Each structure stands twice: as C-alpha cells, then as structure tokens.
Amino acid sequence: MKPKRILILGGTTEARELITKISLIPRFEVINSLAGCTRRPVIMWENTRLGGFGGIPGLKHYLEQQQIDILVDATHPFAAQISENAAIAATQLRIPHLMLVRPVWEKTPEDQWIEVTSNQAAAMVLPGLAQRVFLTIGRQELATYAYIKDVWFLMRMIDPPLASTAVPAGKLILERGPFTLKEEKALLETYAIGAIVSKNSGGEATMGKIIAAREAKIPVVMVQRPGIPQGEKVSDIGKAISWLESL
C-alpha cells in the first residue's frame, strides 16, 4: 500500500520528537517544513523543506503538488500566521488537519505574574516595575521595547536582530534553548535581574526561567498566547500518534 504523506509544520522540539516517532511507522511518509527564519535551522530529518509557502495560495499549491494526505501543525504557539494559513488551506482542500498544541504554563500561588495580551502591553507595565529586565521574547518584537529609556534589558534570542531593528538599551545574548533551571538562576543573579518578560510558550525547554523567577520572587510579565484556529487539537505527541493511526 502507498504510504500516506504527512506534512509536519515544525520548528519546535515537539515537531522533532513527533517526526522521530512517525518515521518508525511504515505506512507514513513524513515531510518536515521549517520557516527557515534562523541562520542555522535544526535540520534533523532528511526530508525537510525550508521557507514560507507564499501565504494560503502557496500552501494550497504545495499540498496539492506534493500530494500531501495529512497536515500536522506542530509549530510554536506564537506562530499564529502559519497556523491560521494551515487551518484554512486544509479545510479548503479537505485534508485531515491536526494541531499539536503544548499546554500553557499555569501560574502557581508563588508566582508573581502580570498577564498581558501583547508585547505593547508588556512594554507599558515595565517602567517602575524593575530597572533591569530579562527580555525573552525572541528578536521579532524587540523594537516594541526600544522607546523605554529607564530600563536596562538583558535580551536573549537565537540570531541577532536585523540591522533595521531598533534595539532596547542593554545586552544581547545569542543562544538556543533548552536552558536548565541552574543556568537561569545564575543568569538572574549575575545580571541582577528584577523582572522577566516572557511569552507563555509552555513546554519544558524554556520553563527554567519561570521557576527561577518564582524562586527569586521576581515578577514575570507574561504575554498570553494568540488565538488558535478551530479544528482538531491534541496536547502531546502520544495523542498525535494515536490520531494519525486512527486515520
């Protein structure tokens, strides 16, 4: 029997783990898709394509041309555009479509979170909250914070900001996770950090900073997730495999 072709929209730890597991199932054939927005993408699967599709029309064209049978969206919870495009393209082409959505980090009574809905809102609460802030929102929305003059920022991201980006005052650290709790505690201490700005990404790989903030009793300005398209969703890899096997 001809294997079913699955396109995995990836760029996350979960996508890599999912691909490893699916590759062991002979009746599936996997193609991994990465946006190609980092300088050294993690390409762990031979059958990987790189770069945007060209919006919904481009994605539909690719799905048809490559005779994709199943579309799995295992992108980051903040990658809202590609998730929306995937949901629309799959619905229009009537291709089975699954979203692998990792659970959010839940606030505990020991946490001091200030929950906001956007980076703009996060930037507004910072003045007066702390003088030294660990900004862990990646590089795309750095400019949102550049107008804040009385805060020093420690900014961590995978690749440096584009030359055209207005960068807030402070220090850049170029690193790719995961980060351990020990490393995150040391970072907060070394740079005398008084508050963290984080997206509510969920997952283990970057949770260390949230626990470190809890233990150091410093506030976290937590940017909430964008909305998720309607459609079938699972919260872990095991459930994603079960869903695929049920097709």
Binding site for ligand NAP (CB under 6 A): 9-12, 33-35, 37, 52-55, 58-59, 75-76, 78-82, 85, 138, 199
DSSP structure class, residue 163: T
Q: Which is nearer to ligand NAP, 35 or 188 (CB)?
A: 35
- Residue nearest ligand NAP, Cβ-based: 52
| CB-nearer residue toward ligand NAP: 138 or 219 | 138
Least distance to ligand NAP, CB of residue 212, Å = 20
**Which stretches of the chain are DSSP H helices?**
13-22, 55-65, 80-93, 119-125, 181-190, 208-216, 237-245
Residue written as token pair 């790189």: 50
* Helix, strand, coil % over all residues of the chain, rounded to 5: 30, 25, 45
Q: How far is the CB of 51 from ligand NAP (least distance, A)?
A: 6
- C-beta closer to ligand NAP: residue 127 or 160: 160
CA dist., res. 134 & res. 172, Å (int): 10
Task: Output 27 or 176, the one with its CB closest to ligand NAP.
Answer: 176
Smallest separation, CB 63 to ligand NAP (Å): 12
Mutual angle of helices 55-65 and 80-93, in 10-degree steps: 50
Q: How far is the CB of 149 from ligand NAP (least distance, A)?
A: 26
Q: Which of 74, 95, 113, 85 is nearest to 197 (CA)?
A: 113
Task: Please state the closest distance from residue 67 (CB atom) to ligand NAP, in A.
Answer: 18
